[in-house]
Amino acid sequence: MMENDIFKALADPTRRAILEKLSSGEMNASALREGMEISQPAMSQHLTVLRGAKLVQEERHGRFVNYQVNPDGLVFIAQWLTKYRSYWPARIDALKGLLKDMDQ
């Protein structure tokens, strides 16, 4: 199931850190490791999970694989959030109408 894959993927702090790194531009797996104290296999495994959740996309360039944010998973979460619109604080109430637009 899509929903479960996404939330499980985001449950791990290392994977959220990877996503955040990618938010500033696409990067290959080695570049992602820099300053992260994580082994090469661990990174590879995390990227597999993120790809399965449609949170990242990969693109091969020779022997490098560039990863970038995939909006699909994130859009799903935004849509999931709309189920709770009516409970949001009033000061963010203006968001409601726009979130509605996302329902197509």
**Shortest distance, CB of residue 35 to DNA, whole angstroms?**
14
Interface residue with DNA, options 3, 20, 25, 45 (CB under 7 A):
45
- Cα–Cα distance between 27 and 21 in angstroms, integer? 8
16 binds DNA (CB under 7 A): no
33 phi and psi, to 5 degrees? -70, -25
Please choose, from the candidates 72, 24, 80, 70, the residue with its C-alpha nearest in 3D space to the C-alpha of residue 47.
70
Residue listed under structure tokens 């000061």: 91
Q: What angle do CA 89, 92, 97 make, to 5 degrees?
A: 115
List of residues contacting its own copies (CB under 8 A)? 3-4, 7-8, 10-11, 13, 16, 19-20, 23, 68-71, 74-75, 77-78, 81, 83-84, 86-89, 92, 94-95, 98-99, 101-102
Q: Which is nearer to its own copies, 40 or 45 (CB)?
A: 45
Distances (CA, A) of 104 to 90, 98, 99: 24, 11, 10
Interface residue with DNA, options 2, 20, 25, 39 (CB under 7 A):
39
Residues at the interface with DNA (CB under 7 A): 8, 11-12, 14, 28-30, 38-49, 58, 62-65
